[in-house]
Each structure stands twice: as C-alpha cells, then as structure tokens.
Structure 1
C-alpha cells in the first residue's frame, strides 16, 4: 500500500506565501476585524430563525442544548486555534487535513466544506428573504408577492431577495477584503446591539414559572435540541480561512476563535432565556420569527417586530458575506493544489481578490437559493460540518506525532484528551442527525470520492512535483515551491 500524499505545513505556507508579503492577498484584517468576522459568520439564521426549532425539541432546557453545542465547538475550537496559528493559510480544515491526514481525506474535507460554506449560503439567503418580507410589512404594510419571494416548494416561482443578497455579498467580496471586513464589522456590531436590546426587553417580563417544566422531553429532547442548536454555531471556523489576509495570524487567529465562541455562547443562552422567560417555551416552539413575536407580546406594539426584523436582515446578510468569503478561500487553496479547476486560484492584481472564483460561487449557489426551501439542507450541512470538525481534531493528533517541533503559538490544553473529546462529541451529534441524513451524507461523500478519483488525484500538483523531483510527496519544501504564488489575472 502506498503512503498517503501528505503535504507538510512548511510546504503549505511556502506555496501560499503565508509568511511573506506580496503573494497576491493582502494582510488587512486585525484582531477586532477577525472577531467581527467570526461573529458575522456565526450569528444569523441559527438564532433568528432556528431558535424555535431548538426550543421545540428541548423546551426551556434549550439553554443546556446551547451549552452542549458550545462545548462541542470549544473542544474543536482549541484544535482550530492550534492549527490556525501553526499553519496560517486560507485552506482552513482542508489544509489542516492535507498536512495531517493526506490528500484523499483533505479532498473529502474540502468537499464537506462545500456544504458548510457553500450550500449553507443558499439556506441562509432564504432565511434573509423571509425577514426582508417581514421588515417591509412592518414598515409599509405590504409584502413582496409570493411569486418573487419564495421557491416553487413554498408556493412561489423564484426567491428574488435570496438572489439579491448573494449578489450584493459577491460585489463586496470582489471589491476587496478591507471593504468586506469593514462591512462585516459594522453589521456584527449592529446585530449584537439588536440582540442585547432584545434580551433587555425579554428579561423585563421574565417569569420563573415559564421555565417549568424545564426539560419536558428529557435527555432525548436535550440531545435533539443540541443537534438543532449546533447549526447556530456553524461558521466559527471561517476565521481560519483568513490566515493569509490577517495581521499577525499566528497570534490573532487563536484569540479570535476562542473569543467568538465564548461571546456567542453567552449571547445565545441569554436570548433563549429571555424569550422563554417572557412568553413560555410553548409560545416560542415552532413559531416563525419567534423573536419578533416575543417583543410584540412584551411591548404590546408591532414596532418591535420591525426592529428585530431589521436586526435579522443585517445579521443574516453578514453571514452570507462571511461564509461566501470562506468558500472562495477554500476553493482557492484546493485549486492551488490542482484538486479543482485552476480558475479558483486566480487573484486579481487590481483588487487582490479571487474575482472569477467569487463570481462562480455566487452564481452556483444563487440557483438553489432561488428555488429551494430553507430546511432542505440544514441537517446535511450540520453533519458535513461535524465531519470536518472531527477531521481537524484527528489532524491535531497526527501532526503532534508527525511534526512535534512545528512552531505552535497556541497548544491544545490537556492534550490528547481535549481533541479526543472533540471527536467524541462530533460523532455523537452526527448520530443524532438521524439515518435519513446519514444516507444523504454517504451519497454526498461517494460523489466527492468519484470527483477526486476522476479529476483531483489525476491533476494533483503534489504528485506531479514529486514525479519530477523524485521526492517523497509533501516531505518538505521543493526547490520551486518557495517561489510559487497564486496566479494573477
């Protein structure tokens, strides 16, 4: 059996130019921008749209579900922090898997990231459309016709607002990372203000009796609620996709990841307690736009619904922007390695962004956004994300053994217990998604394996370089690797 094609961290950084300037991408994102970028990628559909689904499963114990989901993320966040500081490149989980587990596994991780960063854009954009309609109704008393604001499965023809938000995000991303970071920071601050204001309103009407029974469905309900709540955390790992555009990434990326997880967990638990404490779990469970409903009940006015809808519009738009950013950088890294077409690695010398790749991503994922329902891929996205997180935890262990001397600005505490717990929690939540989702996921992985065998493996630059030099694939930095940089157009 041949050894797996493993790419060393040194080669990854040499090829990307991660340790030098002038390699195509520009370092413009400081620690504050990274934290805002992480918050922008996380806080959106999950809390504004998905809270009611989590409450329907767990009742008031949804707070426990949020904490358990956060623990799963924290264990893996430690692994992301270690690898993000040690290998500050744009590939995120894909690059970490390439360095620790080999090319085939890395491709499948990148394939799963299409679910997390790509397909989820479509679902998030559909959620944005719903809140745009609610905002229009609260401001003007009218709504967009169903034919132009919903897909065929929801009684419409095309979801035009969902397409528009993807188009706007792509324009910002093409203009440059500095502009995108500023917009993301502004939107992140605004949506945090809206959610804090919601908590203040909800807690003003808090009644302890609304928290009983605390766990109506028992441990099974909490487990199902944890799986539903996990969707609210998807996106924190997008911070690592900024490895080549972050200032002092070895220091700032680990800090930004851990700060984001802590901040978001506190916020989610506070929002859930405020909502349930104000009106009761039964009133929140399964209710569309539950946060707007709570504000209306507490204030006795429909003005609150408009404010919350505005916050949701901003919040979900920032998620689309941040997640599309992550998807283009993942594809750029895979393209550098020859595993996907080379068009995705081309960097515009004018904007220092992957223009062609961004446009392709926007067009491809605008199609399901225009015609698919919101919940069509939520569980599939969740299981794909959990699989990549499990792979990152395994990659930490593999790299500790393979390269113990690798410079690490952050190290996972209580190693190897923490990454092993991260793997265990990920596998548990994957199990909780249900057998139907597993069947879909296995089919998705099978399709990805075929793509790798028929295209990726044959066009791998790592294998091609090894064939020319006679070196062991990925064993070190090849003579020409240090000069390799993203292509300019």
Structure 2
C-alpha cells in the first residue's frame, strides 16, 4: 500500500507559494506577521485561564508557564525550520504530508480542528465572560446568565460567544489586508493593557503571597498542561505562508519573537497577580485580572479598563485562529481530502468566503453550548499531538530531503526535536485520563472519515499509477496476471 507522500517541492509548486497561491495575495510583512502571531497567542489563556493554572500550581505557576514555554520553544524551532522550507498555507498538515504520508497528514489536519476550530469556541466563551465584566464595570448590569453561558456553566445559550465568531468571520471575508491591520492594532493594545496590569500589580506586591511556593511536582505538571493553552496559536504563523512577503525569512523570525513576547508577558502577569492578592484569591476567578486591579486600586474603573483590553485581546485571537483554520482546510481541500468548497477563493476579496462561513457556523455551536473546561482540555491534547508530529517530521525530512532549501535550521539537532516530543508527551500525561479517552475517540472518528472519504477522493491517490503486476523470477507473469 502506497504511503502517498508529497515532496516539499510538489507542495510548493501546487500552492504557488513562491509566487501567489491560488488567488491569495502577499500583503503581510514581518511586523504584521508578529502582530498576527501575538494576536493568535495572547488572549483567553492569560485573561481567563490564569486562574485555572494558579489553582493547580499555586505561585509555582510561573514554573508551569516556563515549562509550557520550553515545550513550545523546542517545537517552535521545528516549525521555524519547516515553515521556512515549505512556506505553504497547510502548516502542520502540509509538513506531515511531506514526511509522514497522507494518512498521518489527514489525522494531523483532523487534530488541527481541535487546535484551531474548537479553540475558537473556547476563546469565544472566554470573550463572553469578559464582556460581562466590562458591562458590569460600565453600567453595573450584566447579560442574563441564560443568554451568556452554556448549559454546563449554568446558562442556556452563550449568545456573545456566537456574536464574536460572526464578527470575526465578517472581517476575514473582507480581505487579509483588513484583517491583518485589525489584528496588529488589537495586538498592540492588548500588550499595552497587560503592561499596565503588571505596573498596577507589582505596586501592591508582597513577597509573603508567594509562600508556600509550590503544591508539588504534580501541581506544576498539571498547571503546565493548563498553561500550555495560553501558548496555542504560535504555529498559526505558518498558515500564512502564502500571504507573507519573503516567507522563508519572516516566518521563522516571527515564530521565535512571538514565543519570547508571550513567555515574558505570562510570567510577569502571573507574578504581579499572585504577588498582589495571593494564589488563593486568584484561583477560581474567571476574570482574575480585573478582580486584581479592582482590589488593588479600590475602584472598578481600572478593572473596567482591563476588561476592555481582554475583550479586544480575545476577539483578536478568534480572528487569528479562525484565519488559520480556514487556510488549513483550504490546503486539505486542494488535496481532495475534504470537499472542494473549502478551496474556493473569491476573486473580489481574495479570501475563501464559503470556507470561512462554514467554519464560523460549525464552531459557533460548541461556543454556544459547551463548557470552557471541556473545550480547553481537548484543544490542548490535540495541539500537543500535532506538535509531536511536527518534531518527527523535521527528523524525517532531514534524512529524506538533505538538500532541501532551509532558511532556518533547528539548533542542537537531533536533540531539540527529540526533547520537543518528550515534553509534548509529558504535558499530554498531565491532561488526565478523561481527556485521553475523549481524544482517542476523536482519532478513531478521524480514521474512519479518512477511510470512507479522504482516501477515496485523494487527488494524489487518483494521480498515482496503478501498481505493476507481479512477475515471476524468470520474468514470466505471476499467477494473478492475465498471461497466467
């Protein structure tokens, strides 16, 4: 049975990545790409998820963030090498296709539905929580619980979560240039808001709030698995491979810059929050940053500013992650593994309009009805599995394609990708057996979808020549041949 592997050269040629890719236009420079990356990373994980990480690790959540960052850094090196060598829209999916074969590539793309699609739902739920916090600080009122939370969180339907997804889709179909400008503006704003938070938090810092420092190694590991959600999105940079100017140079640089910015911000925010109020006061607070500022300043004004920053920040994540999901589906559609509607690009806006609205409609459903915790855990394990596969892909391509043009090379090879795989598996262990079972079921469903649809409609499979008939050692036709 053929493994159906596409060479990097074939992927690049089919996408037109060295020119213009299937109607996509190169409009993003390095600054916009970094802002896009920050926009995809910094959001729900720190504004909403910080309290969950602190609940697991206590003040040692700083170590949890560093551990999660180390996992990302090793894998970021692999993404940087592959993103510079294969600058196409498919990201991890395309990297797997070029190294591990079509079946594995499909399952990677299937897992990316968790990292990008389902995480859109998780991020939108977090946006809804901070929108309520903002309304409370401005008017003293909040949306009814029945209309601002799903059944698992005590409500009926989360309408604000649906609204932010629709708004992001509307902006995405207008064009990449407009989306990139909006993402850049929102990225700058949310970094500024987090810096202001750190200044306020550190002004009330008390060293005694950091003791006891740790809940034990198990708490740090669980905290790192939760904190990892805060870093999800840096690989979205590679999904812009066909819309970035000079992608072989800019993609690796942008990835490493974004990981550095995120790590510095997260550790600073965590120290400022815990140092100001203590771990017990931060744990279990969905809008923890606003609560910290309110208590430190004795006024709801500061908390309202933080809530406004969170609303903007989390909206930018929805925008960036939805963008990544549509580009991955576009690449899979080009290969015939998902329906062709996902590859169609509007000649007017140069965007995949139908693709974008389908993604919005599908993932608005879990946003409206699912609990944040369930969605976050599935997103985390799916992303870790994809990252492990990318580290494997680097090693396979080094052996199979030694002459491939690489604008960036993983340092300390092969130690770096091996450590990347190890850290991914370590954090997967920390997600817990319930999440493992859910993920296993998800993979089984993906395998069935590939067998029943993807393999049958694969364009690579259709283009492959039929296998030659078996020949007997003497050159005569084997028993199964027409001449037998």
> TM-score category by the smaller chain?
over 0.9
Q: Secondary structure at the match of 1:452?
A: helix
Counterpart Cα distance in 1 of 2:424 and 2:392: 12
Deviation at 1:456, TM superposition (A): 0.3
Q: What is residue 178 of structure 2 aligned with on the other side?
A: 179
Question: Per-residue displacement from partner, 1:248-292 (whole Å, max 9, x unpaired)?
Answer: 000000000000000100000000000111111111112221111
Higher mean Cα deviation, 26-35 or 287-296?
Answer: 287-296
Q: What is residue 333 of structure 2 aligned with on the other side?
A: 335
Q: What is residue 50 of structure 1 aligned with on the other side?
A: 49
Q: What is residue 477 of structure 2 aligned with on the other side?
A: none
Counterpart Cα distance in 2 of 1:416 and 1:153: 44
Question: Per-residue displacement from partner, 1:374-393 (whole Å, max 9, x unpaired)?
Answer: 11221111110000000000
Aligned pairs (5 A) from 1:77-96: 77-96=76-95
TM-score by length of 1: 0.94
Alignment pair present for 1:197 and 2:200: no
Deviation at 1:157, TM superposition (A): 2.5
Question: Per-residue displacement from partner, 1:380-422 (whole Å, max 9, x unpaired)?
Answer: 1111000000000000000000000000000000100000000
Counterpart Cα distance in 2 of 1:348 and 1:92: 22
Counterpart Cα distance in 1 of 2:150 and 2:281: 28
Counterpart Cα distance in 2 of 1:336 and 1:469: 24
Aligned pairs (5 A) from 1:200-279: 200-215=199-214, 217-279=215-277
Higher mean Cα deviation, 87-96 or 120-129?
Answer: 120-129
Contact 2:5 2:98 in 1 (8 A): yes
TM-score by length of 2: 0.95
CA 1:175–1:468 in 2, change beyond 3 Å: closer, same or farther? farther
Q: What is residue 457 of structure 2 aligned with on the other side?
A: 459
Deviation at 1:22, TM superposition (A): 6.6
Deviation at 1:156, TM superposition (A): 2.6
Counterpart Cα distance in 2 of 1:161 and 1:3: 47
Counterpart Cα distance in 2 of 1:344 and 1:459: 14
Q: What is residue 8 of structure 1 aligned with on the other side?
A: 7
Alignment pair present for 1:135 and 2:134: yes
Counterpart Cα distance in 2 of 1:370 and 1:316: 16
Counterpart Cα distance in 1 of 2:132 and 2:52: 21
Deviation at 1:452, TM superposition (A): 0.1
Higher mean Cα deviation, 460-469 or 164-173?
Answer: 460-469
Aligned pairs (5 A) from 1:27-176: 27-176=26-175
Aligned residue pair count: 468
Counterpart Cα distance in 2 of 1:409 and 1:86: 7
CA 1:454–1:133 in 2, change beyond 3 Å: closer, same or farther? same
Q: What is residue 486 of structure 1 aligned with on the other side?
A: none
Which residues of structure 2 form unaligned runs of 5+?
Answer: 469-484
Alignment pair present for 1:286 and 2:279: no
Which residues of structure 1 form unaligned runs of 5+?
Answer: 471-489
Counterpart Cα distance in 1 of 2:45 and 2:442: 23
Alignment pair present for 1:360 and 2:358: yes
Higher mean Cα deviation, 403-412 or 17-26?
Answer: 17-26
Q: Secondary structure at the match of 1:286?
A: coil
Q: Secondary structure at the match of 2:465?
A: helix
Q: What is residue 481 of structure 1 aligned with on the other side?
A: none
Q: What is residue 481 of structure 2 aligned with on the other side?
A: none
CA 1:263–1:427 in 2, change beyond 3 Å: closer, same or farther? same
Question: Per-residue displacement from partner, 1:27-60 (whole Å, max 9, x unpaired)?
Answer: 0000001100010001111000010111111111
Contact 2:42 2:230 in 1 (8 A): yes
CA 1:469–1:20 in 2, change beyond 3 Å: closer, same or farther? farther
Question: Per-residue displacement from partner, 1:135-180 (whole Å, max 9, x unpaired)?
Answer: 1111011111222212233333321111110000001100000000
Higher mean Cα deviation, 281-290 or 46-55?
Answer: 281-290
Counterpart Cα distance in 1 of 2:127 and 2:207: 33
Counterpart Cα distance in 1 of 2:464 and 2:166: 41
Aligned pairs (5 A) from 1:405-420: 405-420=403-418
Q: What is residue 473 of structure 2 aligned with on the other side?
A: none
Q: What is residue 487 of structure 1 aligned with on the other side?
A: none
Q: Secondary structure at the match of 1:418?
A: helix
**The structure with more radius of gyration:** 2
Counterpart Cα distance in 2 of 1:298 and 1:208: 16
Deviation at 1:467, TM superposition (A): 2.9
Contact 2:21 2:242 in 1 (8 A): no
Alignment pair present for 1:395 and 2:393: yes
